[in-house]
């Protein structure tokens, strides 16, 4: 089955570059130069993914994401931006994350990044249903690996980061449904990071995890503190993979 991407991009040069990348990855493309044309095309052409530029002429596509979602609720959506003279790219990315898009990329991007993204969306396209997206944040590679394997085996789409800074600087981490976050980490740390998560993704389900901090703070005290900053549930480390998946599924069911 031929896979087709709807591209909204007002620069024909940039569109041709993206189309060439997609062709090498085995995808065809429908190119639209205006938001109106893109919306009309969704009603006329069968597509399997959308790549939407944030700034199209004088228009901001973020204001129309809801319309695109209504017309194509199960199609993976990627927002792409190089910023604009009206706001910094960081502000644009922050606003884009709140729209519920599946991926956000900063232009110019590489074919390798595009390949990784489309490899990730392939399972969703095959089933016609978007998987729930889980973000795991922990400075321990062992914990990240255990959690990733558990979520992957349970059918979730999984992203991982070793710090809060890494999670928020990774522009292809856009919409998330659930975040599993360690309390004590270098840098920004878990407490400040969890507040930022709730600001960036207001509807996200948040699970805090902790083994305490040496002899200074018990795991129970640490987890209790996260309740006051918005954590929806807590789990102690080390945790059982089955318990983690059951807790995550329960939270996502309640949020549905």
Q: Which domains does the chain have, with CATH numbers?
A: 3-127 (3.40.50.2300), 133-255 (3.40.50.2300)
pLDDT in tens, the chain (256 residues): 579 999 999 999 999 999 999 999 999 999 999 999 999 999 899 999 999 999 999 999 999 999 999 999 888 999 998 876 666 767 777 777 778 788 888 889 999 999 988 888 888 877 778 889 999 999 999 999 999 999 999 999 999 999 988 888 776 676 789 999 998 788 877 778 888 888 877 788 999 887 754 444 445 555 566 666 778 988 888 899 999 999 999 999 988 7
Q: Cα angle at 177 between 166 and 88, to 5 degrees? A: 45
Q: What was the pLDDT predicted at 198?
A: 82
CB 202 within 8 A of CB 194: no
Q: What was the pLDDT predicted at 24?
A: 96
CB 174 within 8 A of CB 96: yes
Q: What was the pLDDT predicted at 101?
A: 86
Give the Cβ contact number of residue 199 at 10 Å. Answer: 11
CB 169 within 8 A of CB 197: no
136 beta partners: 160, 180
pTM strictly above 0.85: no
Terminus-to-terminus CA distance in the chain, angstroms? 32
Give the DSSP letter of residue 172: T
For 192-237, the DSSP string reads HHHHHHHHHSTT-EEEEEE--BTTTB-HHHHHHHHHTTT-SEEEES
Give the Cβ contact number of residue 251 at 10 Å. Answer: 18
User: Which residues neighbour 148 within 8 Å (Cβ) at sequence distance 6 or greater?
Assistant: 136, 158, 160
Q: What was the pLDDT predicted at 39?
A: 96
Helices 190-200, 219-227: axis angle to 10 degrees equals: 30
């Amino acid at each position: 089955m031929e896979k087709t991407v709807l591209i909204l991009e007002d620069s024909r040069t940039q569109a041709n570059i993206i189309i060439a990348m997609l062709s090498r990855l085995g995808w065809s493309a429908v190119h639209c130069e205006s938001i109106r044309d893109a919306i009309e095309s969704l009603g006329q052409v069968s597509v399997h993914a959308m790549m939407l530029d944030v700034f199209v002429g004088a228009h901001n596509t973020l204001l129309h994401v809801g319309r695109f979602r209504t017309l194509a609720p199960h199609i993976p959506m990627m927002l792409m931006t190089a910023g604009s003279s009206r706001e910094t790219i960081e502000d644009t990315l922050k606003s884009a994350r709140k729209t519920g898009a599946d991926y956000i990329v900063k232009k110019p991007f590489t074919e390798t990044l595009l390949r990784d993204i489309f490899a990730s969306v392939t399972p969703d396209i095959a089933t016609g249903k978007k998987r729930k997206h889980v973000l795991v944040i922990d400075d321990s590679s062992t914990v990240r690996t255990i959690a990733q394997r558990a979520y992957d085996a349970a059918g979730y789409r999984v992203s991982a980061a070793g710090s809060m800074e890494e999670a928020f600087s990774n522009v292809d981490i856009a919409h998330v449904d659930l975040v599993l976050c360690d309390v004590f980490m270098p840098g920004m740390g878990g407490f400040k990071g969890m507040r930022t998560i709730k600001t960036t993704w207001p509807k996200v389900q948040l699970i805090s995890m902790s083994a305490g901090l040496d002899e200074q703070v018990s795991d129970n005290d640490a987890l209790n503190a996260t309740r006051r900053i918005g954590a929806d549930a807590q789990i102690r480390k080390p945790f059982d993979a089955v318990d983690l998946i059951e807790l995550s599924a329960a939270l996502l069911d309640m949020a549905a």
